[in-house]
Amino acid sequence: MYTATATDTHGHDHEHAPTGIMRWIASTNHKDIGTLYLWFSLFMFFFAGTLAMMIRAELFQPGLQLFQPGFFNQLTTMHGLIMIFGAIMPALVGFANWQIPLMIGASDMAFPRMNNWSFWLLPAAGLLLISTFFVPGGSIGGGWTMYPPLFIQGGIGYDMAILSVHLMGISSIMGAINIITTVLNMRAPGMTLMKMPLFVWTWFITAFLLIAVMPVLACAITMLLTDRNFGTHFFDAAGGGDAVMYQHLFWFFGHPEVYIMILPAFGIISTIIPTFSRKPLFGYVSMVYAVASIAFLSFIVWAHHMFTTGMPVAGQLFFMYTTMLIAVPTGVKVFNWISTLWRGAITFETPMLFALAFVILFAIGGFSGLVLALVPVDIQLQDTYYVVAHFHYVLFSGSAMAIMGGVYYWLPKWTGHMYDERLGKIHFWLTAIAFNITFFPMHFLGLAGMPRRIPDYALQFADFNMIASIGGFLLGASQLLFLYTVVKCVRGGAPAPARPWDGADTLEWTLPSPAPYHSFVTPPLVK
């Protein structure tokens, strides 16, 4: 389907990119900064993925094989924290940087210098976080949720992790302010809000969520820091404090946070599926309202993470029902994607394969989420591998696979080369199959009662764990093919036409490939 369409007619200011290291360190260009975000997230993806491989190696057989339990806790904690703050979120911000200005016809982000700062805080935070492995007492082992009292008891690495999360939070807030301002103020003439591509809508709403909840996380972890070092009693009942209060503060951030990681992924999927179905997105307006509804609901469901912590029955019922309500707008989205496919002229290029797998696998993750929303069931399943299976279905086959699909989709625009379609498809099938081998058995393990975050397990769990580990190693190795395919595409390949996908109709495809260093310096008029 690579039909070249002669498009670029813009008399752009063809100023060339600055050269040398300062191009990247001092950049104010949304494309360069987007690229930095994406490479950073890929590095962190491999780092945290390596930790996951170590976890699966330990769990390959029952008994303590490789690591002491304390170090195992550090592996699970750091895997979670880095995947969330280092891999998924920066990757999505990378997409926002590259795509939002191109999709709304803006010359750049609203605050180009602050954009640079948002990125360059991340390597600083990553350095601080990863170096916790090398300090006395080791890295953090309290779980990525950083619950007290465990998190108050660890060594200096815990303080470093708190400060690192502070830096990442500052980065996120600045990035979100930048995105929200860009969407509100930088749209080309005629690009009304309800004409914006859905990817832009999802990021607009995500940015709002970020600004609303990252400061609450900052509150919670600042209290941890003072409880640890300055003698406060926020989370200590003897002083009138409350460890449960931490959980409320954390999950008031934490639940919107999971939508922060999935809404832009919805946006990517809502871009890819219409393109390869060669039909406009079905139910655009209802998609916008669905995203807004999910964002609203995300603020009133947080305590479903705390059903076993203890709360009044009225509270359990409230949070159970609000959680189940989320299935309604999410269902609207899934049905709209399916309706978009209906009678479409569908082709199955790599991005489309990832998008279709997303719809199916994310729906599985959504359904297991509904199971967990039921209070009596959740009390059984809390902290078991069922939960691990659930959130990997929404975070890996949800966010991460949407990111991969989006990378293949926009690589031609970013690099000016077509990626290797054969390698892309192999990568997709390896990933999709290995993912399910890894995580599907975890549903059974969880239902049978295997607790998470424990390096050892009872003998009856051995078979499923070995299967999951084999799948995990395959999943990890498959991502090396992803790296190879991306690098190969960056370095060369068939020249990409301006619009390699003939169903694509957003503004970035009116630009040549690769997109010029400065694009839409004078905004296009959108009809």
Partner 1 sequence: MQSPTQTHHTDVYYVPSSSIWPIVGSIALLTLAAGFVLYLGKVAAGPYVMGAGVAILATMLFGWFSTVIKESLAGKYSDQVDTSFRWGMAWFIFSEVAFFSGLFGALFYVRLITLPSLGHADLVWPNFEGVWPSAGPGLNKTITPVGAWGIPALNTLILLSSGATVTWAHWGLQKGRQAQLKLGLALTVLLGALFLGLQIHEYAEAAFSIRDGIFGALFYMLTGFHGFHVLLGTVMLTIILLRAMAGHFTPDRHFAFEAVAWYWHFVDVVWLLLFVFVYWI
231 interacts with partner 1 by CB under 8 A: yes
The residue among 84 and 186 lying less far from partner 1, judged by its C-beta, is 186
**417 in helix, strand or coil?**
strand
Give the largest CA-CA distance in the chain: 72
Residue 202 to residue 387: CA distance in whole angstroms: 26
Does position 344 interact with partner 1 (CB under 8 A)? The reply is no
Q: Radius of gyration (Cα) for the chain, nearest Å?
A: 23
Q: What residues from 422 to 451 belong to the interface with partner 1 (CB under 8 A)? A: none
| Per-residue binder mask for partner 1 (CB under 8 A), 63-102, x = binder | ----------------------------------------
Q: Has 108 been annotated as catalytic? A: yes
Pick the binder of partner 1 from 84, 130, 160, 260 (CB under 8 A).
160
Looking at 58, 257, 349, 508, which residue is catalytic? Answer: 257
Rounded to whole angstroms, the Cα distance separating 355 from 381 reads 30
- For residue 147, indicate whether it is catalytic: no
Q: At what angle do helices 350-373 and 243-277 cross, to 10 degrees?
A: 150
CA nearest to 108, candidates 120, 96, 121: 96
Length of the chain: 527
445 token code pair = 């393990």
Q: Which is nearer to partner 1, 287 or 395 (CB)?
A: 287
Q: Is 304 a catalytic residue?
A: yes
Q: Which of 146, 213, 363, 486 binds partner 1 (CB under 8 A)?
A: 213
- CB-wise, 315 or 514, nearer to partner 1? 315
Q: Which of 50, 232, 286, 309 binds partner 1 (CB under 8 A)?
A: 232
Amino acid letter for position 511: L
Residue 330 appears among annotated catalytic residues: yes
- Catalytic-residue membership of 349: no
Residue tagged active-site, from 172, 322, 323, 399: 172
Does residue 315 interact with partner 1 by CB under 8 A?
no
Among 44, 96, 102, 220, contact with partner 1 (rule: CB under 8 A)? 220
Nearer to partner 1, 170 or 426 (CB): 170
Q: Is 491 a catalytic residue?
A: no
Q: Binding to partner 1 (CB under 8 A): which residues in 362-391?
A: none
Return the structure tokens found at 518. 């400065």
Contact predicate 479/431, CB 8 Å: yes
Residue 521 binds to partner 1 (criterion: CB under 8 A): yes
Residues 268-287 that bind partner 1 (CB under 8 A): 280
3 vs 9, which CB is nearer to partner 1? 9
Please give the residues from 111 up to 140 whose contact with partner 1 meets the rule CB under 8 A.
Answer: 111-114, 116-117, 120-121, 123-124, 127-128
Residue 299 engages partner 1 in binding (rule: CB under 8 A) = no
Provide the 3-class DSSP secondary structure of residue 11. coil
Amino acid at 60: F
Structure tokens at 64: 């303590």
Q: Least CB distance from residue 108 to partner 1, whole Å?
A: 5
Is 26 a binding residue for partner 1 by CB under 8 A? The answer is yes
CB-based burial of residue 267 (10 Å sphere; 0-12 exposed, 13-18 middle, 19+ buried)? buried
The set of residues, in sequence order, having a beta carbon less than 8 Å from that of 489 and lying 6+ positions away, is 411, 415, 417, 418, 419, 420
- Told to judge if 172 belongs to the known catalytic residues of this protein, a careful annotator would answer yes
Spatial separation of the C-alpha atoms in residues 341 and 335, rounded to whole Å:
10
Contacts of 370 (CB under 8 A, 6+ apart): 323, 324, 327
**Under rule CB under 8 A, residue 164 binds partner 1:** yes
For the annotated catalytic residues, the residue numbers are 79, 108, 144, 171-172, 255, 257, 259, 270, 304-305, 330, 333, 452
